[in-house]
Homo-oligomer: A and B are copies of this chain.
Amino acid sequence: MTATTTTTTAKPKANNGVNVDALLGAREALSKAPEAAKFKWRASCKWVNGTHSRSSVQGFYGLGTEQKHKTEFTFEADHPEIFASEDKGATPVEMVLAGLASCLTAGVAAVAQRRNIQLRSVEAKLEGSMDIQGILGIDKDVRNGYDDITVTFDIDADASRKDIEALVAQSQKRSAVYDIITNPTNVKVKVK
């Protein structure tokens, strides 16, 4: 009878900069106090000239009280020169793509942390197809928005391809912006 020594090397703890313990704590706390989970996100926008506007974001409501970002974040938007505009900012539809990209990317980081997967790099490329006959009012059967959007992730991580695909799938499942784009949301537009 021979003695065998088994050496188990523990996988080092991943560090993707996401505080998963705090998120799990929040989940537990909010499941007991669902009123605190009701958030209101806000933006304000001022017309500058032509199709150029400036939006800003700072205050929001959540955890039962008014909240504030550390700083105000601003977004310049405009149309490009081929639409006879001055191209002083991204188009609004590109801002939506950036919102989708950043939502899915934050989700990838959070889920990776939870699954102890060390990320080395995460890149996403997004493309949305749009027939501008819609917004120009040429053809009533053409919608104003995107026909479809494709998001392609390129992820370098300490995980198998299968695990990386599962990571992206879980991020998609919990993404607010993915839900906003793929499902209808009621928008009320009024004049003060």
Counting every copy of the chain, the complex holds 2
A179-B144 CB under 8 A given contacts A95-B75, A154-B192: yes
A115 on interface, CB distance cutoff 8 Å: no
Known contacts: A39-B132, A43-B94. The answer to whether A176 contacts B27 by CB under 8 A is: no
Given contacts A109-B51, A153-B191, contact A44 B124 (CB under 8 A): yes
Contact B192 A153 (CB under 8 A): yes
Knowing A51-B106, A153-B191, the reply to whether A183 touches B184 (Cβ < 8 A) is yes
Q: Mark A87-115, 1 if CB is under 8 A from B, else 0.
A: 10111111111111111111011100000
Given contacts A57-B98, A83-B26, contact A189 B172 (CB under 8 A): yes
Query: Bound state CA distance, A20 and B117, in angstroms?
Result: 53
Tell me whether A45 and B123 are in contact (CB under 8 A).
yes
User: Residues of B contacting A144 with CB < 8 Å?
Assistant: 174-176, 178-179
- Chain B residues in 8 Å Cβ range of A75: 75, 90, 95, 98, 102
Which partner residue on chain B sits nearest A89 by CB separation? B73
Contacts of A137 in B (CB 8 A): 27, 174
Q: Report chain B residues within 8 Å CB of A139.
A: 31, 34
In the complex, chain A residues 43-61 whose Cβ is within 8 Å of any chain B Cβ:
43-47, 49-53, 55-57, 60
In the complex, besides A23-B136, A182-B186, 18 extra interface pairs with C-beta distance below 8 angstroms are A18-B85, A27-B137, A37-B138, A38-B129, A45-B98, A46-B122, A55-B98, A57-B94, A73-B89, A92-B100, A93-B103, A104-B189, A145-B183, A150-B190, A151-B188, A153-B191, A153-B192, A183-B184
